[in-house]
Amino acid sequence: MPIPAQYSYRPDGETNTNVRYQPVPWPQTFMTWTGANGDTIPLTGDITCTSSPAGIAVTKGPAGLGMPTYDLKADQLPNMDGGLFRSVRATTRDITIPLLIRGVDRTSTIRMHNRLLRALSPGQGPGWITAYEGDGVARHLECYYVSGGEGAETEEVAGFTRIKYAVVLRAMDPYWYSNAEFQHDWHLDQGTAQPFLSSSGYPSFFPVRISSTTFSPDGTVTVTNDSSVEAWPVWSCTGAASGLRLENTTTGEAFRLRDTFSIPASQTVTVDTSPGVKTVAMGGVNLWPQMRADSVLWQLKPGKNVLRVTAGDVNENTLIRLHYVPRYLSYVGG
């Protein structure tokens, strides 16, 4: 039987039960599909037939928008109950979206139908399903159309001005991505620049540390990944700089270019740590041979990450820039 609960009071453990919890106004979720052809189609449109054409809308019963499924690997224990856990990974994600196409006449119905099918066609590549929640944060998932658009001319699913589909989409990367990109910059802070030779106030003369007026003088900054899933940064490093080292002190991982390699002035090295990409390049030239052997193209773990950037031979034009996009377990976050 259900456990009784008093939702009229604060759900966060507030001890003063005389203070009633005030519900937060929350707008309706809005969803779109953007096909490989660039066409963005609203999936939560008006289907009341009060305007022409009426629209396309998600009906009751969408599935697969929450947590991804996981594949657990384990070894069975001989002569004992159970097994020994080995690893876990998120699998591809299938999403089922029940859609209703409704027009004011047959012509508008066919036009919306054809527009949707063209945008779903996977032959040109994947599309994006985007969910806009009441908090104003949009999240998207890259998907390929799999099935559901075959159609059936039965009375329940088709009519003169309406068509129903249960579209199945498959995401190779099962995590939702934020539509917001976060950025942090490092550059030489002239106000705290140190002389080339070491002094009693500075532990060493190499490497010169890069910082910004908004960061601490030792080149560190705290980056907060507000998701339960790791994020993979992309770095753009504009010279001049030598011996560049990018470190996540929270995880103890770092990657570094060889001391003998210098980024020329006005040239940019791009380091993409994304899974399936993992590139280090400058102007189309592969720079993997210039990476130290102990380098790790690390991730931003969930929560707080303390990052440090160090380099030598820098000047006022040197700029180290970090980009990252949070990933989420479901369309509402997590």
Between 238 and 28, the higher pLDDT residue? 238
The pLDDT value recorded for residue 36 is 93
Give the mean model confidence (pLDDT) for residues 228-245: 91
Between 232 and 158, the higher pLDDT residue? 232
The pLDDT value recorded for residue 192 is 47
Check whether the bond before 240 is cis (ω within 30° of 0).
Answer: yes
203 confidence band (pLDDT: 50, 70, 90) = very low
3-state SS assignment for residue 57? strand
42-86 tens-digit pLDDT:
998 777 766 666 788 888 889 999 999 999 999 999 888 989 999
Q: DSSP character for 47?
A: -
**C-alpha to C-alpha distance for 300 and 305, rounded to whole angstroms:** 7
Between 199 and 288, the higher pLDDT residue? 288
What share of the chain in percent tops pLDDT 70? 83
Task: Please list the residues that pair with 308 across neighbouring strands.
Answer: 220, 247
What's the mean pLDDT when you consider all of the chain?
Answer: 83
Look at residues 144, 145, 139 and name the one whose alpha carbon lies nearest to residue 176: 139
Cβ atoms of 121 and 68 closer than 8 Å:
no
| β-pairing verdict for 262-263 and 176-178 | unpaired
The pLDDT value recorded for residue 52 is 67
The pLDDT value recorded for residue 105 is 87
- CA angle, corner 328, sides to 324 and 333, nearest 5? 120
10 confidence band (pLDDT: 50, 70, 90) = low
128 confidence band (pLDDT: 50, 70, 90) = very high
The pLDDT value recorded for residue 184 is 87
The pLDDT value recorded for residue 68 is 94
Comparing 159-163, 244-248, 289-293, the range with the smallest average pLDDT is 159-163
Between 20 and 274, the higher pLDDT residue? 274
Comparing 6-15, 213-222, 238-247, the range with the smallest average pLDDT is 6-15
The half-sphere exposure of 253 on its side-chain side, counting CA atoms within 13 A, is: 10
117 Cβ neighbours under 8 A, 6+ residues apart: 149
Q: Decide if pLDDT at 123 tops 60.
A: yes
The pLDDT value recorded for residue 301 is 95
Question: 174: phi > 0 → left, psi -120 to 50 → alpha, else beta; which?
Answer: alpha
The pLDDT value recorded for residue 51 is 64
Cβ atoms of 307 and 220 closer than 8 Å:
yes
212 confidence band (pLDDT: 50, 70, 90) = very low
